[in-house]
Amino acid sequence: GFLIYCRPRINWKFWASSILIVLFFYCPVIVNDWKTGGANYKQFVEAFTKKSDNKESRNLIEKLVKNTTENALYHWIIISGAQTADLPGLEVKGLPDIKCEQYCRDHLKEGFLALLIFMIGGFLLIYKTGQGFYQRGVKQDFLALNLILAGVSFIVFTPLAFNFSARFFLIITPLPFLFLGLFLNLIPRKYKWVCWILVGSLILSNLFFTKRFFIELRDAKTVDYLLPRDRILKQKTRITLEQEQAIVDFLESYYLKNGYPVIYQGQPEFHRALAYLLDQRKVPRDGLSIRQLCRDANYFLVLRTQSDQSKKREDLGEKFNFGTEQKFGTLVVIPLELKATAATCEQFEVDKFRNYKNEGGSVAKRYNWGEIFSGK
């Protein structure tokens, strides 16, 4: 769109170089999709084409409102580092209904500030681009390019409004800073010191939240806590590779002791990571399913330390006796002893255990370069 607007005359060598650069940086994505038979591409297309269940279906107005609020909140995260801001949601089932829970009400001030910067910045971008439409120049081209980026991304994001992921905003990272700049430009020159104070505050805010993130990672192996809100990683607590390695050491010790496979149930945010690490150590493993419970196996429950275990204990209590909890900071491992009356078989058929292609729902396998070049 920008090239159509500018109509520049570009040498074919620059076109070729640009295409090669794009292909180079997207090489991991392209190779991974080739190895998985286009699984990632299919999932991307399904996000736009697959109809939601009736229970979760949303109309266009709800998606537009959600898209606007999510853009505002993620813009705020990018410029401030703060993830606590929140805004009300809109539900249209008959009469429109504004949804704002207690957490939302507690953080509305930050949310409205984020929305204010986003809306005013967006309006100013449209206004200034239109104002100088016939006055070509570097500044005008810059504004036009960002307006196209903002418009296209907003349209593309609308169908995905209720399934946002932070990585979507990597492609529009410049926009929050541009919107902020346009917003601050409204302040009269004699009060420019206010701009410096605001910019300095945002820098300090980013440093504060970055430092806190690393402190949380440092303490994850010894301290158990829940996070109030994590819009970027969608985590309820911090989990590190060091913790996962320690848990795998613990699980592997049972396998080395009796030679039985490891059967475990873990929460989605770390289940596949543990599966990967166990596979690296050649430890036979599978997810726990009460439909098949063999006598010769090591059973475990892996949970966040702060999780409410009552439901799990209720669901599994009929089949298992619960062993002593082994804490790993924000995670806890509970060995399970299969009751004699609950066994449905003697031994698992290890060759039928699930792998990356049929485990983890619709998540496609991610290959590393070692696997690519080894031909696996």
At 282-291, the pLDDT tens digits run 999 999 988 8
Which stretch of 52-61, 79-88, 156-165 has the lowest confidence by average pLDDT?
52-61
Do 246 and 294 share a domain, yes or no?
yes
What is the reported pLDDT for 76?
Answer: 96
Q: Are residues 44 and 95 in the same domain?
A: yes
Does residue 194 fall inside a structural domain? yes
Per-residue pLDDT at 54: 46
- In the prediction, which pLDDT does 213 show? 92
Of 184, 200, 233, which closes a domain? Answer: 184
The closest of 122, 107, 106 to 72, measured between CA atoms, is 122
| In a domain? residue 231 | no
Residues 30 and 133 in one domain: yes
Cβ neighbours of residue 149 closer than 8 Å, sequence gap 6 or more: 171, 172, 174, 175
Which domain-ending residue is among 166, 184, 202? Answer: 184
Residues 318, 365: one domain? yes
Clarify whether residues 334 and 278 are in a common domain.
yes
**Whether residue 274 sits in one domain with residue 179:** no
Higher pLDDT, 132 or 222: 222
Who has greater pLDDT, 165 or 317? Answer: 317
11 and 118 fall within a common domain: yes
Exposed e or buried b per residue across 302-316, where buried means at least 16 C-beta atoms within 10 angstroms of its C-beta: bbbbebebeeeeeeb
User: What is residue 86's predicted lDDT score, i.e. its pLDDT?
Assistant: 93
Q: Note whether residue 230 is domain-resident.
A: no
Residue 209 has pLDDT above 70, yes or no: yes
> Does residue 334 sit within a domain?
yes
Q: Is 70 exceeded by the pLDDT of residue 56?
A: no
**Could you tell me if 336 and 272 lie in one domain?**
yes
What is the pLDDT at residue 53? 47
Q: What is the pTM of this model?
A: 0.77
The bridge status of strand 262-266 relative to strand 285-287 is parallel
Mean pLDDT of the chain: 86
- Are 22 and 156 in the same domain? yes
Residue 227 included in any domain: no
Give the pLDDT confidence score for residue 335 in this predicted structure: 96
Q: Domains in the chain: how many in total?
A: 3
Question: How would you write the chain as a 3-class SS string?
Answer: CHHHHHCCCCCHHHHHHHHHHHHHHCHHHHHHHHHCCCHHHHHHHHHHHCCCCCCCCCCHHHHHHHHHHHHHHHHHHHHHCCCCCCCCEEEEECEEEEECCHHHHHCHHHHHHHHHHHHHHHHHHHHHHHHCCCCCCHHHHHHHHHHHHHHHHHHHHHHHHHHCCHHHHHHHCHHHHHHHHHHHCCCCHHHHHHHHHHHHHHHHHHHHHHHHHHHHHHHCCCCCCCCCCCCCCCCCCCCCHHHHHHHHHHHHHHHHHHCCCEEEEECHHHHHHHHHHHHHCCCCEEECCCCCCECCCEEEEEEECCCCCHHHHHHHCCCEEECCCEEECCEEEEEEEECHHHCCECCCCHHHCCCCCCCCCCCCCCCCHHHHHHCC
Looking at the fold, whether 118 and 92 belong to one and the same domain comes out as yes
Does residue 170 lie in a domain region?
yes
Per-residue pLDDT averaged across 64-71, rounded? 94
**Whether residue 332 is found in the same domain as residue 249:** yes
Residue 224 lies in a domain: no
Q: What is the domain range of residue 142?
A: 2-184
User: Is residue 16 included in any domain, yes or no?
Assistant: yes
Q: Using alpha carbons, select from 283, 75, 67, 252 the residue that is nearest to residue 157.
A: 67
Same domain, 173 and 203: no
